[in-house]
Structure 1
């Protein structure tokens, strides 16, 4: 299949990305809806999740992407591999995070990953960044007791900003600890991560997980 050429930057504040979305019946998507859920925000072409779903059949994976053409391509690849623990959803996560998580059973969200998000460098564009306060609050309130959050970027300030947004949330900061990582927590690299490392450039990673004394 020919590689789809897409726009690198999409404005999430555009009215077209604030419309209501159709959420599928998860019973028709996942063979076992009781499996823990890994939510990957900004999954692009989904190659990271395709590999993860093959490696971890007892985890359900959901990739979120705001560029619809990439979602179509990713689901076609998923269907071709006959994966019953993976789905890709076209949506603006900052607009749709609450109804999305409410469509799952409570306590099922076990992992959230945000990898190489658009940095939106201009000060006037920073409201377009993915780790906004409302998203962080909703994710934190829905994360399972032993759930964890993985963040990474090739821009150190972006990783630190995301980490700071999560760690100042009241649902996390008292019971969670942060760990800087020198390698990908999942061992499987995203396309952007591999390209960055191949250029001998740095990747900045943080894992947020329950503190050892949190029961």
Structure 2
């Protein structure tokens, strides 16, 4: 996506939806008008997944976390267009999750089509590396779920091994989501694109 020089100004002008400066760090509940269960998506893509979830579940608060300010503009536009009051967005590096959230504060984490970082030397950047799993375990309430989807077989296999080594419990596992697609599955923009190319979609639900 092309760089938009005005991106930060736009996001800051919508600070009732987007937290650019960690204003709500350690007090995310104050960012919402209603105190409800809290789910987060790490890496929003263009926002189809989180906005669709929010429409279907008005009794849950959703936080979308994205590092790319240009991408976050698209998500913000969708939230505004749909008039969603249960979605808030953070311009935030996933490496700093525990600097922002409190322990035992989140009810579910979604990871959708994360960058696979295929080179071995970049393994620590994968969002299912043990470093990130440590953060998820801290911020999640007991027995809460991490839900992960990818079309990348290498990342899927890495994630299985990483989660298993971390001692996580696999609640659900699907090696081809679209073979017998569940009605609750929300296709992200990337999911549609990869599926049209004939890629299998892999899915994991795991708890600590």
Contact 2:65 2:89 in 1 (8 A): yes
For 1:51 and 1:164, locate their aligned partners in 2 and report how far apart those are by CA, in whole Å.
30
Contact 2:22 2:100 in 1 (8 A): no
Q: Deviations over 1:19-70 (max 9, x none)?
A: x95233535532223x111111111211111111111101111111111111
For 1:164 and 1:22, locate their aligned partners in 2 and report how far apart those are by CA, in whole Å.
33
Structure 2 residue matching 1:31: 3-state secondary structure: coil
Number of residue equivalences:
186
| Cα distance, 1:178 vs structure 2 | 4.1
Structure 2 residue matching 1:69: 3-state secondary structure: helix
Structure 2 residue matching 1:187: 3-state secondary structure: coil
- Write out aligned runs for 1:41-60 (5 A): 41-60=42-61
1:113 aligns with 2:110: yes
Contact 2:110 2:146 in 1 (8 A): yes
| Cα distance, 1:202 vs structure 2 | 0.7
The 1:123–1:5 alpha-carbon spacing in structure 2 relative to 1, beyond 3 Å, is same
What's the counterpart of residue 86 of structure 1?
A: 87
The 1:142–1:28 alpha-carbon spacing in structure 2 relative to 1, beyond 3 Å, is closer
Match of 2:194 among 193, 196, 202: 196
| Cα distance, 1:124 vs structure 2 | 3.0
What's the counterpart of residue 172 of structure 2?
A: 179
For 2:40 and 2:78, locate their aligned partners in 1 and report how far apart those are by CA, in whole Å.
18
- Write out aligned runs for 1:118-197 (5 A): 118-169=115-166, 172-173=167-168, 176-181=169-174, 182-183=176-177, 186-197=184-195
| Cα distance, 1:100 vs structure 2 | 1.9
For 1:200 and 1:132, locate their aligned partners in 2 and report how far apart those are by CA, in whole Å.
27
For 1:206 and 1:57, locate their aligned partners in 2 and report how far apart those are by CA, in whole Å.
24
| Cα distance, 1:167 vs structure 2 | 3.1
Structure 1 residue matching 2:101: 3-state secondary structure: helix
Q: Which runs of 5+ in 2 are unaligned?
A: 4-19
Q: Deviations over 1:115-158 (max 9, x none)?
A: 11111222333333223322211211332224111112111120
The 1:86–1:101 alpha-carbon spacing in structure 2 relative to 1, beyond 3 Å, is same
Q: Which runs of 5+ in 1 are unaligned?
A: 7-19, 211-215
What's the counterpart of residue 16 of structure 1?
A: none
What's the counterpart of residue 36 of structure 1?
A: 37
